[in-house]
Chains A and B, each alone.
Chain A
Amino acid sequence: MRETTLTSSTSTLVHTTLPSTYQVVQSVLKVLKRNSSAGRRGGDTQAQARAQAQIRGRKMAAGFKTVEPLEYYRRFLEFGAPPTDAPDKGYVVPNVDLSPLCSWRFRSGPPGEEAQVASQFIADVIENSQIIQKEDLCISSGKLAWVLYCDLICLNHDGNILDACTFALLAALKNVQLPEVTINEETALAEVNLKKKSYLNIRTHPVATSFAVFDDTLLIVDPTEEEEHLATGTLTVVMDEEGKLCCLHKPGGSGLTGAKLQDCMSRAVTRHKEVKKLMDEVFKSMKPK
């Protein structure tokens, strides 16, 4: 299946049959149980939290890894030193992995352009929306801080990767539990108490809404891969619950007037409410554990 098989006749089909009404998104959020094999000796760093988000056929799985000091590896540096220009901040490192598993378009090897752009987008969303305070990740100012590696692995690519990534990220962040760390004054080593864990403090809930633009007139919410391919432009709006915009990502493409943008904003607000409701439901059902 190569790009060349999509001819102009397909694009006329798009114009005549796709309505410009809001397409309802069926999103299913499944939060997987936290992997409780942390005590296994010799095991690799364990995922602290996992969440899987599925939106109309696109699946993204997000996992969080924090380097856990197991008995075996105590001598190694388990945490990171905070950056010199911000001694009381930790790190959140997102990485989006688009592997050949999810689509025929990707090859194995170093991350391609789409994966890099998506990683940068997620990093921007984390920073702009202040979803977690990096100060919360600091254990001891200037010496030790948590490094949260967020790996977003695409399981199935059917377009609209950025939305799915944001949902998965949010769900996974809500599920992360960091163990308590104290620094022993005599030995100056960190001591991790795996029995006492606490959830991260999530301050805002950014939700992304993507649109595909066709010839400056038609706007489709939540495009599939085929729609994205035929579109002349895309637009992603990330909004948090107060109606503040964290990110307006429009990477080129055909032009949009101010009025059309306004339209997109109002749909983004509706979408945010739906997603938030769904997420709250899921987490409420999960909490007593």
Chain B
Amino acid sequence: MAFLDFRGGSGRVQIVSKRRATCGRHSWSPRVGACVLRTHLVRKRALLGGSNKPRLHVGSRAMEGAMQTESKIRADSRTEPGPRGPGCSLRHFACEQNLLSRPDGSASFLQGDTSVLAGVYGPAEVKISKEIFNKATLEVILRPKTGLPGVAEKSRERLIRNTCEAVVLGALHPRTSITVVLQVVSDAGSLLACCLNAACMALVDAGVPMRALFCGVTCALDSDGTLMLDPTAKQEKEARAVLTFALDSVERKLLMSTTKGLYSDAELQQCLAAAQTASTHVFRFYRESLQRRYSKS
């Protein structure tokens, strides 16, 4: 029984109908009515903090053009005083949990057009060569969309694995293995962040004990210093620097960071602050999504 939850932007009517169709196909359980689609008209307050205009901060595909101009306008008006972080919106995200029957936990996370499917097996039996006497062995396998996994995938696997190791309470399950398998379904920018989010949701779905949740946020800096959160593939290519952060939910500390390109120290702090603000929205989405799921069953 799959549980679907999403937060949509202005194009949500289209999205709702697509989702309904999908849901109808998959939900073969008697509790069809439980496959609830909540549509929110989310008008979040501007991340900029000072603006009074209610803005739609979750753009949809149709609004992408508008989003670009929005960010440019914001950049121009950066001279306004006040504690404002460089603003930009996250693309719309959706999450589906428990969609696979074999893994102990599974989740599919969508960010704009980027989609990653995650499955978690564990705690399960571990090979003697890999067992650790006092905690669980965490393993992450990342499969790219096309081709064989290469060195870049290995590097990403290590990043995701170390992030998960920092939050998963491995000491509660010694001599076991927890395997997270990630499959890239489509890549339209911010892939690593999407993988992290999917992994977190899948770990929650599997019931693996964790000390905090974590989320991934990507920032891109273009040549004139404008900051963009959650960039698309095109924006990433044109950017001067792309920074991906993993933040934890308790104190918004930096768990993982990987960057590409050149940038200054001040820009790093700026991106980190923006990422911390954006992560609040992601964590709120996690919380509401899980609340809704468990309130029905």
The chain A residues found within 8 Å of chain B, CB to CB, are: 3-4, 113, 116-117, 119-121, 123-124, 127-130, 216, 232-233, 240, 243-258, 261-262, 265
Contact = CB atoms under 8 A, between A and B. Distances in A.
Contact of A261 (B155, B166, B258, B272): B272
A263 to B, nearest CB: 12
Nearest to B155: A120
B48 to A, nearest CB: 20
B203 interface: no
Given A128-B259, A245-B262, 13 more contacts: A119-B151, A120-B154, A130-B262, A243-B265, A246-B262, A248-B258, A250-B254, A252-B161, A252-B164, A253-B255, A258-B254, A261-B269, A261-B272
A253 B163 CA distance: 6
A237 to B, nearest CB: 10
Given A117-B158, A255-B251, A250 B260 contact: no
Interface string B214-252: 000000000000000000000000000001001110010
B254 A255 contact: yes
Nearest to A2: B133
7 contacts: A113-B154, A120-B155, A130-B262, A243-B264, A252-B159, A252-B256, A254-B255
Interface residues of B, number: 37
Query: Which of B258, B262, B269 counts the most chain A CB atoms within 10 A?
Result: B262
B263 interface: yes
Given A4-B133, A120-B152, A261-B272, A245 B248 contact: no
A261 B254 contact: yes
Nearest to B131: A4
A256 B253 contact: yes
Contacts of A254: 166, 253, 255
Contact of A257 (B163, B253, B263): B253
A249 B257 contact: yes
B10 to A, nearest CB: 34
A285 B48 CA distance: 55
B158 A251 contact: yes
Interface in B34-71: none
B172 interface: no
Nearest to A269: B265
B32 interface: no
Interface in B108-140: 132-133
B268 interface: yes
Query: Which of A120, A127, A262 counts the most chain B CB atoms within 10 A?
Result: A120
A265 to B, nearest CB: 5
Given A116-B154, A251-B158, A244 B263 contact: yes
A178 B112 CA distance: 47
Contacts of B133: 4
Contact of A116 (B151, B160, B165, B273): B151
B69 to A, nearest CB: 29
Contact of A216 (B162, B253, B260, B268): B253
A115 B159 CA distance: 14
B261 interface: yes
Nearest to B250: A255
A216 B165 CA distance: 15
A233 B254 CA distance: 11
A248 B158 contact: no
B149 to A, nearest CB: 11
Given A116-B155, A251-B158, A258 B166 contact: no
B257 A120 contact: no
B217 to A, nearest CB: 14
A128 B154 contact: no
Contacts of A246: 262
Contacts of B261: 128
Contact of A248 (B154, B163, B243, B246): B243
A86 to B, nearest CB: 13
A109 to B, nearest CB: 14
B260 A124 contact: yes
A254 B255 CA distance: 6
Given A120-B154, A120-B155, A233-B166, A128 B253 contact: no
List the 7 shortest-distance A-B pairs measured between CB atoms, nearest first. Answer: A252-B162, A255-B253, A120-B155, A252-B163, A250-B257, A116-B154, A251-B162
Query: Which of A233, A245, A254 counts the most chain B CB atoms within 10 A?
Result: A245
B284 to A, nearest CB: 20
A260 B173 CA distance: 32
Contacts of A240: 262
Nearest to B163: A252
Contacts of A261: 254, 268-269, 272
B177 to A, nearest CB: 16
A120 B162 CA distance: 16
B277 to A, nearest CB: 13
A117 B247 CA distance: 22
A252 B255 contact: yes
Given A119-B151, A245-B262, A113 B268 contact: no
Contact of A252 (B132, B246, B260, B269): B246
Contacts of B263: 244-245
